[in-house]
Structure 1
Amino acid sequence: MDKILSRDGTSIAYRHRGEGPPVVLVGGSLDTAETGAPLARLLAPRFRVVTYDRRGRGASGDGGPYAREREIEDLAALVGSVGGAASVFGVGAGGALALEARAAGVPLDLVAVYEPPYTPGAAGLRYKACCTDRLRRLLGCGDRAGAVELYLSVTGVPSDLIARMRRAPLWSGLVAMAHTLAYDDALLGDGSIPAERFAAVTTRTLVVCGGASPTPARLSARALADALPRARHRILTGQTRDLAPQAVAPVLSEFFAQDGLDLRRAS
Structure 2
Amino acid sequence: MKHSIAFASVLAVGLLAASAGQAADIASPMAPELKQTEREGWTFAVSPYFWAAGMSGDTGLFGLPTVHTDMDFADILDDLDFGAMAIGEARYDRYSIFADIMYSKISSGSGTPRGIVADHVDVSTETFAGLIGAGYAVLQDDRGHLDLVAGARVWHSSTNISFSGGILDGVSRSDSATWVDGLAGVRAKYSITDKVYFTGWGLVGGGGANVDWDVAGGIGYSFNDKVSAVVGYRALGVDYSSDGFVMDIVEQGPIFGVVMHF
Of structures 1 and 2, the one with the larger relative CO (CA 8 A, separation 6+) is 2
Bigger Rg, which one = 2
**TM-score (normalised: structure 2):** 0.27
Query: Structure 1 or 2: larger helix share?
Result: 1
